[in-house]
Amino acid sequence: RIDIAEHWMKEHPFVPAALKPSAMALPAFVEKFGSIFEHSPWIAERAFDMELGPAHDSAGGLHNALARAFRSASADERLGVLRAHPDLAGKLAQAKRLTAESTAEQASAGLDALTDAERETFTTLNAAYVEKFGFPFIIAVKGLTKDQILAAFRTRIDNSRDEEFATACAQVERIALLRLKDMLPE
């Protein structure tokens, strides 16, 4: 019997089932997806309450539910999500106190290896942006260079608050989608 079991394990190894958000209990769902929107597990809780089905077992499907929960939140709640995001290349990054997701995202754009002059530029722009809008500059950095990020920073700082609030919310949703694509099939 042991020979049969060993043969079976060798020839037919256990492959865990794909992650199925629609089959998860609330605590496990929030633990797994509560950080998709930075420091805002309440979005995952509200998405879970939408009675998720098999259509939500993909990155795009679950993103749809999470984005609906985010969009249906009050303006103050959405502002709270924006304010939960760290400054790009800011003090938290320098102190190594970012979430694992933010650390990886900022590193992918080279924001963890800035020159002193570049760091000073980011610091100055971050301060001016927060002063004007009341929340940090948010951009989905994955696939962007630091020069592209700085160009967007300089352009967007001239937006109105309403324009920038909408743009920042759209960027938060894009960050969420990119994070989900790292966890779930398309």
Residues forming the active site: 85
Burial group, residue 152, by CB count within 10 angstroms (0-12, 13-18, 19+): middle
CA distance 112 to 105: 10
- Pull the structure tokens for residue 83: 């304010």
- Nearest 5 degrees, angle CA 133-CA 155-CA 122? 70
Q: Which residue has the tokens 């049969």?
A: 4
